[in-house]
Amino acid sequence: MSTTATIVSVISQEPRAQKTAILTKGRLASLDAYRGFTILLMLTQLLALPRVAENFPDSSAWRIIGRHAEHAEWEGGVLIDLVQPSFSFLVGVALPFSVARRRAQGQSLSGMILHALWRSAMLVLLGVFLRSVGKPQTYWSFEDTLSMIGLGYTFLFLISLCRPWVYWAVLAAVLVGHWAAFALYSTGSPDFSSHWAINANAGWAVDKWFLNLFPRQSPFHANRGGITTLNFIPTLGTMILGLIAGDWLRRPWPARKKVAWMVVVGLAGLTAGEALSRLGVCPRVFRIWTPSWVLFSGGWCFLFLAGFYLLIDVWQMRRWALPLVVFGMNAITMYCLEHLIADFIRGSFQTHFGESVFKLFGTAYEPILSGGAVMLVLWLIGLSMYRKKIFLRI
């Protein structure tokens, strides 16, 4: 029996009345829940869990928590590294639904293209602005998640107008082309992995030219984390993976078939990404979004989406997901507020309740109480918007 058939057999054990997807005119709640989970995961950085873990050096649990709450320095990948791929992936998943809705509303192709261009520009500029908040010495930079999505969004929209086989063809071209650009870049080192070394690769070389075209007080030399503007190209690959998933979700397939395909492709992505890294073909590096990272992180995205879709839209287990949906329905708002007012919220608690308000359980847990307070306030803002049906979009 094939892997797909096995997975279908397991999923088909659900009650017969619930075997097919619940098709509604509204949104898929699973997409909002997954998007909300991504926001929640992003906000855990407010808890400074790696710093808390340092207070418990003998605890294996805190070691694991601390490791997965801090971005990998270079090669590898941990849980927090899946935030940006999930954002990008979900943009692709939502696009087929958006295009179908706009067509049903009678919008012209030229109108949709103009909207895509406008959205791209807004996302790029918003990412540039958020990256410079509170950092007066930060100049033009396109490393923010929103900027990366914006740079590739119009291309993604144009791809979405094509037949599904084109999605796969463009994805292959993006991954192979990006790999070749780095692999052919001269590093002067016999070590093949040096082609993806931090601030000594093709993306870094392009940024030394491109970012210095913008006004700045001093020349650009390198990004501290090694992130490059060319990351938007493989990020487009991640969004195309989402586009493929979104196309499947819109098809009149039985729910079990949709889930099975997402699980199979998810496992294949994990295997392929890991294999490329272990075989030395291409290291798995989140910070420069290598092709192996696209496949590996994309695999996790497929598995997350399959899980949320199965629980929420197929088995109709929705109540538990409301806290996530609150975040997910206003994801960009929450993303912006975290950048703009997190310090203000934290400072307001200390102003009104005293400097030691977050030290109730000692200094070791202070970051958790501090970050938790900010997360709670942001969620309450999201809840108020959700109840009043205020959903901000670009």
Per-residue pLDDT reduced to its tens digit, 266-307? 999 999 999 999 999 999 999 999 999 999 999 999 999 999
Q: So what's the pLDDT on residue 23?
A: 34
Distance CA 206, CA 202 (A): 6
Q: Are 357 and 350 in contact (CB under 8 A)?
A: yes
32: which 2 tokens? 């909002």
Q: Is residue 392 part of a domain?
A: no
pTM: 0.91
Q: So what's the pLDDT on residue 3?
A: 45
Neighbours of 189 (CB within 10 A): 11
Q: Is residue 393 part of a domain?
A: no
Q: Is residue 294 part of a domain?
A: yes
3-state secondary structure of 6: helix
Q: Is residue 205 part of a domain?
A: yes
Q: Is residue 394 part of a domain?
A: no
- % helix / strand / coil in the chain, to the nearest 5? 70, 0, 30
Q: Is residue 47 part of a domain?
A: yes
Residue 7 pLDDT exceeds 50: no
Residue 26 pLDDT exceeds 60: no
- Average pLDDT (239-247) is 98
Residue 150 pLDDT exceeds 60: yes
Residue 328: give the domain boundaries.
3-387
Q: Are 262 and 306 in contact (CB under 8 A)?
A: yes
Closest by Cα among 195, 171, 182 to 268: 171
**Domain total for the chain?**
1
Q: Is residue 183 part of a domain?
A: yes
Phi, psi (rounded to 5 degrees) for 224: -55, -35
Q: Is residue 152 part of a domain?
A: yes
